[in-house]
Amino acid sequence: MAHKFEIWKDKAGEFRVRFKYNAETIFSTEGYTSKASAQNAIDSIKSNGPGAEVEDNS
């Protein structure tokens, strides 16, 4: 699968989530103090993302 979420720990010790397509990072999140919070962010994106509006500010 070309799309994936990654949970990683940054230099400050916080957990972050990145969403990747192939080797390219599409977006990453803020830092979370727990791995469970990072997983909750992924779950929220998966459940709320498909119906999200697109705001074109161009």
Can you give the pLDDT at residue 54?
Answer: 93
Q: Which residue has the tokens 């990654």?
A: 6
Q: How far is it, in rounded angstroms, from Cα 19 to Cα 8?
A: 11
- Sign of the torsion formed by the C-alpha atoms of 27, 30, 32 and 36: negative
Q: Looking at domain 3-49, does it have CATH number 3.40.50.12780?
A: no
| Per-residue CA distances from 27 to 43, 51 (Å) | 15, 18
So where are the chain's domains?
A: 3-49
What tens digit of pLDDT does each residue of 8-58 get?
Answer: 999 999 999 999 999 899 999 999 999 999 999 999 999 999 999 999 999
Task: Map residue 49 onto helix, strand or coil.
Answer: helix
Contact assessment for residue 10 and residue 17, using Cβ atoms and an 8 Å cutoff: no
